[in-house]
Amino acid sequence: MPLITVVKIATPQDMADAYTVRRKVFLEERKINREVEDRAEDHLAHHWIAYQMSPSSEPGQEQLIKPVGTIRLMPSPTEPTSGRLGRVAVLKECRGQGIGRMLVQCVEAYAVSAGFKRIYMHALNDKASFYKLLGYHTYSNVFIEEDVPHIKMERVLC
């Protein structure tokens, strides 16, 4: 299993790397409309990126190799203690390695430290089982958003 690190995005290069992952997953693989995968709300959100790292025999000498996943948390405009999880993306060739779980757990840790009580999302319906394993539950029927079946999910944080 490759060495992965998840960091809160702090530089323009990190954000560019996140956009690269989002483009590959949403536009190229899932064929989501480019206008839907816009960046208009990104400046309001907190973002994280997962990087694959090179192994090193010297602790602390690992090097970033490539971005492999990304996620964002948008504070709710109407519920100050809630945030909306979104733009969760892991490169196809890197799935099944726990990267998505790591990204969600980093967001949840941040959300708790920032005083959030709840995280909600409009999950892709075919990804609902993944989020259920992480403690999220559904609170809607399936609906169409961005021409794709979605379902509303949430998790109350401790």
Q: What is the pLDDT of residue 38?
A: 63
Give me the pLDDT at residue 85, please: 97
The pLDDT value recorded for residue 83 is 97
The pLDDT of residue 149: 94
pLDDT at position 42, please? Answer: 87
Q: What's the mean pLDDT in 60-78?
A: 87
Domain chopping of the chain, boundaries: 3-121
Is the pLDDT at 22 greater than 70? The verdict is: yes
Q: Can you give the pTM of this predicted structure?
A: 0.90
Label residue 98 left, alpha or beta by phi (over 0 means left) and psi (-120 to 50 means alpha).
Answer: left
Q: What angle do CA 102, 106, 108 make, to 5 degrees?
A: 115
Report whether pLDDT(61) > 70. no
Residue-wise pLDDT for 92-145, tens only, equals 999 999 999 999 999 999 999 999 999 999 999 999 999 999 999 999 999 998
For residue range 30-54, list pLDDT tens digits in order. Answer: 888 765 566 678 889 999 999 998 8
User: b/e for 50-62, b at 16 or more Cβ within 10 A?
Assistant: bbbbeeeeeeeee
CATH of domain 3-121: 3.40.630.30
Q: Answer whether residue 5 shows pLDDT above 70.
A: yes
In angstroms, what CA-CA distances link 95 with 15, 19, 63, 91?
21, 18, 21, 7
> Does 22 or 31 have the greater pLDDT score?
22
Is the separation of the CB atoms in 55 and 64 below 8 Å? no
Asked if pLDDT for residue 81 goes beyond 80, the answer is yes
